[in-house]
């Protein structure tokens, strides 16, 4: 029976509260590779957001190269698609060469109807179709510009995202091989899925896709949502991210899915395999005295910590004292004082400055501490100084 691993949202090169997570990501991918080597699957599916940004750092690119090379050396077929964080064009670099050794990077829409056919170890073939993250303008141009007769755009009235995805998936359905299992890869937000704090999704559900659009396959391997979950149907699944990328995900198990296609069963067998993080995320909410002294928190010395201090009074050198106890302190909040500030902000006397407005915007947009945020804040300061001089 065909068996494959479903991974997604690696976000290689992620910066977490100003610090690189590359060491953590090496640790996690090493676990995946070790398990894959011990019991090789027929394929590994990577459903988008391979990198955390379109211009990934060099160490992230090297890590992905090493992971792909290790899988190829083990004789495991790999299929990868870009997500909304990736640059499709950059991901496609050298994809022709990779394909010769069984690594298929499907980064555009040119091969929607050309599946990767995998021969399972028991001799059964199955097809993997790839739908990269839908950039509406690009997919619209592709769907209305190819084929014969020039009427391919008739089934995408208005060219909205739902219509475009429907048209693309319909094309794929028409070329399915009878009596051969078919898997679809996509990187989209399916309506009703449960989001978490580390995702940057669209406001108002404007980019959400109803799960019905993905019907007609034996399994749909999704990326985009960081929590492992079904997406409206038993066969439509998010693998989730390999690690927690926000403190509100601290308690959620993270890992990947193993999928076994059994033609004698109505649904495939899906098994979740948790991964052990290098440093788990811990949210500690307590008084400063307890955070510094309580032996219960000794276990968190090697964890990424969000310290939520409940004292109603401020303290001197708060971050330094807590970092002595928790070397990997990544977030500090004084919850009692936050409530006071929140109440004050509702009064007419609350004053907003350009700096505070920008900071609030960057927080809401998900910009963490780092070089990009520092540059944005510096540009604002320079513009304000220049305005003051004129």
The distance from CA 229 to its chain's CA centroid, rounded to whole angstroms, is 13
- Give the length of the chain: 390
Sketch the domain layout of the chain as residue ranges: 3-274, 281-389
Q: What is the pLDDT of residues 71-103, one digit of tens each?
A: 999 999 999 999 999 999 999 999 999 999 999
Q: How confident is the model at residue 153, as a pLDDT?
A: 45
The three-class DSSP label of residue 32 is helix
For 316-322, the CB contacts below 8 A with 24+ separation are 318/288, 321/288, 321/292, 322/288, 322/291, 322/292
Instruction: Give CA–CA dist 366/273, Å, rounded.
Output: 29
- Judged against a pLDDT cut of 50, whether residue 389 lies above it is answered with yes
Q: Where are the beta strands (DSSP E) in 188-287?
A: 189-190, 208-209, 219-223, 229-233, 236-238, 255-260, 269-274, 281-286
For residue 220, count other CB atoms closer than 10 A to its CB. 29
231-240, 327-336, 375-384, range with the lowest pLDDT: 375-384
Domain 3-274 is in which class? alpha beta
Q: Phi/psi at 307 (nearest 5 deg)?
A: -95, 120
Q: How confident is the model at residue 340, as a pLDDT?
A: 61
Q: What is the pLDDT of residues 293-316, one digit of tens each?
A: 999 999 999 999 999 999 988 788
Q: For residue 341, what pLDDT band results from cuts at 50, 70 and 90?
A: low
Q: How confident is the model at residue 148, as a pLDDT?
A: 38
The three-class DSSP label of residue 48 is coil
Q: 230: which strand partners? A: 237
Q: Indicate the helix (H) or strand (E) that contains 212.
A: none
- Judged against a pLDDT cut of 90, whether residue 346 lies above it is answered with no
For residue 112, count other CB atoms closer than 10 A to its CB. 21
Q: DSSP states of 263-315 as a string?
A: TTSSS-EEEEEE---SS-EEEEEE-HHHHHH-GGGGGGTTSEEEEEE--SS--
Q: How confident is the model at residue 367, as a pLDDT?
A: 65
Average pLDDT, the chain: 88
Q: What is the pLDDT of residues 182-221, one digit of tens each?
A: 999 999 999 888 777 666 554 444 578 999 999 999 999 9
For residue 380, count other CB atoms closer than 10 A to its CB. 15
6-20, 236-250, 317-331, 346-360, range with the lowest pLDDT: 346-360
Q: Indicate the helix (H) or strand (E) that contains 194.
A: none
Query: Number of C-alpha atoms within 13 angstroms, CB side, residue 238?
Result: 28
Instruction: Give CA–CA dist 370/367, Å, rounded.
Output: 8
Q: Phi/psi at 273 (nearest 5 deg)?
A: -115, 105
Where does residue 191 rank: exposed (0-12), middle (13-18), buried (19+ CB within 10 A)?
middle
């Amino acid at each position: 029976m065909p068996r494959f691993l479903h991974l997604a949202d690696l976000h290689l090169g992620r910066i977490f509260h100003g610090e690189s997570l590359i060491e953590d990501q090496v640790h996690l991918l090493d676990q995946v590779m070790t398990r894959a080597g011990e019991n090789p699957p027929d394929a590994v599916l990577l459903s988008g957001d391979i990198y955390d940004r379109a211009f990934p750092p060099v160490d992230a690119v090297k890590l992905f190269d090493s992971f792909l090379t290790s899988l190829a050396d083990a004789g495991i077929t790999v299929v990868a698609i870009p997500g909304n964080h990736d640059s499709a064009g950059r991901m496609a670099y050298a994809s022709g060469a990779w394909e010769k050794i069984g690594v298929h990077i499907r980064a555009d829409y040119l091969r929607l109807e050309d599946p990767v056919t995998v021969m399972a170890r028991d001799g059964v073939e199955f097809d993997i179709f790839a739908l990269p993250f839908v950039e509406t303008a690009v997919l619209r141009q592709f769907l209305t510009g190819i084929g014969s007769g020039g009427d391919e755009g008739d089934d995408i009235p208005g060219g909205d995202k739902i219509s475009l995805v429907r048209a693309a998936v319909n094309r794929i359905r028409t070329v399915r091989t009878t009596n051969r299992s078919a898997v679809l890869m996509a990187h989209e937000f399916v309506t009703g899925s449960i989001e978490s704090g580390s995702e940057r999704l669209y406001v108002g559900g404007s980019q959400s896709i109803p799960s019905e659009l993905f019907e007609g396959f034996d399994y749909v391997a999704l990326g985009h949502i960081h929590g492992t979950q079904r997406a409206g149907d038993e066969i439509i699944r998010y693998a989730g991210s390999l690690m927690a990328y926000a403190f509100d995900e601290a308690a959620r198990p993270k890992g990947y899915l193993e999928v076994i296609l059994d033609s004698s069963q109505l649904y495939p067998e899906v098994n979740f395999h948790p991964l052990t993080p290098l440093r788990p995320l811990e949210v500690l909410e307590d008084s400063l005295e307890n955070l510094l002294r309580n032996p219960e928190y000794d276990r968190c010395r090697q964890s990424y910590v969000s310290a939520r201090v409940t004292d109603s009074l401020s303290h001197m050198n708060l971050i330094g004292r807590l970092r002595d106890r928790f070397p990997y302190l990544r977030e500090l909040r004084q919850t009692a004082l936050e409530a006071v500030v929140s109440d004050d902000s509702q009064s007419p006397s609350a004053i907003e400055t350009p700096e505070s407005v920008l900071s609030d915007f960057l927080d809401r947009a998900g910009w963490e501490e780092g070089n990009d945020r520092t540059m944005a804040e510096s540009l604002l300061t320079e513009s304000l100084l220049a305005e003051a001089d004129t």
